[in-house]
Amino acid sequence: MVVLGLVAVHSIARAVQWHITHDLCKYAVCSMPCEVKPRFVVLYGSQKGQAQSIAEGVAEEAEEHGLTAELCCLKQNERYNLEKERAPVVFIVSTTGDGEPPDNALQFVRRIKKKTLPTDHYTHLCYALLALGDTNYANFCNCGKTIESRLQELGAKQFYAAGYADDGVGLEVVVDPWLEGLWKAIKAALSKMASDRADYSTGEAGDSSKDAPDSSVPDVQLSLLSITDQQNCKSANSSVETVSTFSSADSSSVSASTTQTAVTDPGPASPLGNDRLASQFHDAASVSTSKPGTQTTDAGVPLVALAASLIFSLPPLSDSSLNVPALPPPYLDVSLQEVDLMEQTDGLMIKDTLFEVPVSKAVQLTRGDSVKTALLLELDVSAYPMMTYQPGDSFDVFCPNRASEVEDMLHRLALHDKRNHQVNVSLRTDTKKKAAQVPPYIPQNISLLYLFTWCLEIRSVPKKAFLRALVEHTGDSVQRRRLQELCSKQGAADYNLYVRDQSLSVLELLAAFPSCSPPLSLLIEHLPKLQPRPYSAASSGLRHPGKLHFVFNVVEFPACSLRPAGKQGLCTGWLFDLISPALVFSGMDESSSTPDLPKIHVKLRPNCSFRPPPDLSVPFIMVGPGTGVAPFIGFLQQREQEKQEKPEATFGETWLFFGCRHRDRDFLFREELEGFVSSGTLSHLKVCFSRDDQEEEGRPKYVQDNLLINRQHVMEVLLQQKGYLFVCGDAENMAKDVNNTLIEMIKAELQVDQLDAMKTLAGLREEKRYLQDIWG
């Protein structure tokens, strides 16, 4: 709390007068001596929780800056009122799918996009915006950009330049400096608003423009809030701690802050408890700790690193003072109850909105010597009319964490003997976390084993806030210092190199830092929800009534120094293990009797725009290399059925651009595609092989090369015949390359420059005639 008595008298007078005369200013003012806490609003729209957790971080840090933050999700429109809001508003929003707003921001975006809103609708509003996105997707930060441009059209004033953070290179590259500058900007905005209002109320407001903050606000000198700077000097130490160099790292705060019950906290420096896990890191640790040098362990053993690694740093980082993030306030009480919940462990419990469907067929589409393994699964959805889908839809597959990793985690936390105990999670009554809540994805009455199997993404890459929290539960000072480095500003490059780029899981991290023994509550606070994995339907219900096909590559994480054995993707690896006993190869007798196939939990995710044109006469082009061909098999099966049902109808041309490595190894759906060509369902099939045909000059290697070769036709379909272009598959390279190629084609076709070509493509996207269904 900021004591108003410390403020310069002039500022007190202004602040109090402002408050009395303008009831819309909601500063908390008590009777003298007063406490003032300037207020601002944080609104977030978040699909996977990243924007939400950044927004929560802002709200939590506010107090340390002498401010009060009101935190709301954009969908909670009963909790905020932008039509009347006079305090600064900070928007933090992500983008999902094909540039769509996250589900919880959808209504808000619709509301502000209403054409009936007057252009002065938000002239009173003063805002800053942080957008999260991924440049691997074409509509980078589209939700943030949409909100930003619409707010501006409606007269709102920006008090701090918008940040556009790119998950493709690491959100923190933009997020960290943006957050660092935010506080000064909010205070400047508040100060400017306060002085404008005070001037207005004392009759100095001859100029109406003073009513609204202008975009130069961040440059305004602080006056009203100069008091908070004193406060901030103190609080800055807690919000961004400065940790001095290695020698000063001690473990006092470990014992001070490990206040969990014996059940939830195995205590600092517990033994690793799992030899298999420990052995993965044994070599790295022994290299780092066997050579004497500049650092010393708690046991007095001097250390020097031969090379930096996850667990060891080199100068200048190892000698540097560190700025580490504020310690996230704990907010959950977790206890384990000795109720045996053994029967729970097998299946997913939240079944109301999900369907448990049998796998009825499993086919390997690629040859054994193919680099990637592509599988087709057929699901029997006939028992569930709610699973009726259209080509272009996708659906979620709910997969558990790997049993061996769950076991490792339980051992690592020294909780293995309590695996069937009931987990009770409640809010700490004394928590300082804003808007704290028990994670809604953790059901009541679950066992510990269930929690780690179905609720938490135990493979998630630990965020810096988590690393910061782990420091408090790490006994060894070398390890503490390294964790501090990894979450510090100075250690950002090491974090990217050893944590983010390696997709390092929490379990792998804990194995590398054996003296770290976090309580269960900390894992529940920091591990995200285990997300289902979406897959595109690769069939049409018209062709396969009651059946749903999908296709996927088994994701392989290559071996690296931290993970000598490599690993498979969570869901694709799980599916592969599940169906391997019944797997048949493409072309073999797929109807032959197969052993009992398992059931899996799925949920439909309808997609309203990624659909074949409703007008059958409109031509369309499909670009889908590799497993990206999946939805187009559904499109073509549907088209073939429609052709049979409506022989008199006019059908537009269809084009498919497919690509893979080798004609003989991974040409997915070859026979079916050639069949579509023979039946006239597919007018043009353009295929290329990136690793074959190398000797022949000029051969197209990638789908975009084939697009260029067929430039004239593609442009005619898109620009003259008002046709559609669909792209599906890899977001990282293919979708970007196709996008760039389309821009080049438009430039050449229309004889326009880059900017105009980009505008033309953006126009096609707006008209929903250039559509993407891509994943990274």
Residues that bind ligand FAD (CB under 6 A): 394, 503, 533-536, 550-553, 555-558, 569-573, 627, 630, 773, 775-776
- The CA distance from 127 to 80, in Å, is 14
* Nearest-approach distance from CB 446 to ligand FAD, in angstroms: 22
Would you say 510 or 630 has its CB closer to ligand FAD? 630
* Nearest-approach distance from CB 463 to ligand FAD, in angstroms: 15
DSSP β-bridge partners for residue 68: 39
Give helix 630-645 / helix 670-679 axis angle, nearest 10°. 30
- The CA distance from 673 to 576, in Å, is 25
Please, are residues 557 and 563 in contact by the beta-carbon 8 Å criterion?
yes
CA distances to 713, 725, 743 from 751, rounded to whole Å, are 17, 21, 11
Q: What does DSSP assign to residue 63? A: G
Would you say 109 or 551 has its CB closer to ligand FAD? 551
Q: Mapping DSSP to helix (H, G, I), strand (E, B) and coil, where does residue 631 land? A: helix
Please, are residues 715 and 761 in contact by the beta-carbon 8 Å criterion?
no
Please, are residues 120 and 157 in contact by the beta-carbon 8 Å criterion?
no
Strands 654-660 and 684-689: parallel
* Nearest-approach distance from CB 569 to ligand FAD, in angstroms: 2
Strands 89-94 and 39-45: parallel
* Nearest-approach distance from CB 557 to ligand FAD, in angstroms: 4
* Nearest-approach distance from CB 611 to ligand FAD, in angstroms: 14
- The CA distance from 737 to 719, in Å, is 20
Would you say 127 or 550 has its CB closer to ligand FAD? 550
Would you say 25 or 622 has its CB closer to ligand FAD? 622
* Nearest-approach distance from CB 628 to ligand FAD, in angstroms: 8
* Helix, strand, coil share (%) of the chain residues, nearest 5: 40, 20, 40
At residue 303's C-alpha, the angle toward residues 298 and 306, to 5°, is 150
Q: Within 13 A of 249's CA, how many CA atoms are on the CB side?
A: 27
Would you say 384 or 557 has its CB closer to ligand FAD? 557
* Nearest-approach distance from CB 115 to ligand FAD, in angstroms: 30
* Nearest-approach distance from CB 92 to ligand FAD, in angstroms: 22
Would you say 265 or 378 has its CB closer to ligand FAD? 378
Number of Cβ within a 10 Å radius of residue 230:
14
Would you say 146 or 553 has its CB closer to ligand FAD? 553
In the structure encoding, which two tokens stand for residue 541, read together? Answer: 């219900």
* Nearest-approach distance from CB 394 to ligand FAD, in angstroms: 4
**Residues 6 or more apart whose Cβ sits within 8 Å of residue 544:** 378, 637
* Nearest-approach distance from CB 571 to ligand FAD, in angstroms: 3
Would you say 179 or 548 has its CB closer to ligand FAD? 548
| Residue with nearest beta carbon to ligand FAD | 569
- The CA distance from 467 to 506, in Å, is 10
- The CA distance from 241 to 246, in Å, is 15
Residues in the chain, how many?
776
Would you say 158 or 627 has its CB closer to ligand FAD? 627
* Nearest-approach distance from CB 604 to ligand FAD, in angstroms: 12
At residue 422's C-alpha, the angle toward residues 569 and 573, to 5°, is 10
* Nearest-approach distance from CB 196 to ligand FAD, in angstroms: 46
- The CA distance from 776 to 533, in Å, is 12
Query: If residue 677 lies in a helix (H) or strand (E), which one and from where to where?
Result: helix 670-679
Smallest CA-to-CA distance from 241 within 316, 322, 333 is with 322
E strand segments, 448-504: none
Would you say 40 or 550 has its CB closer to ligand FAD? 550
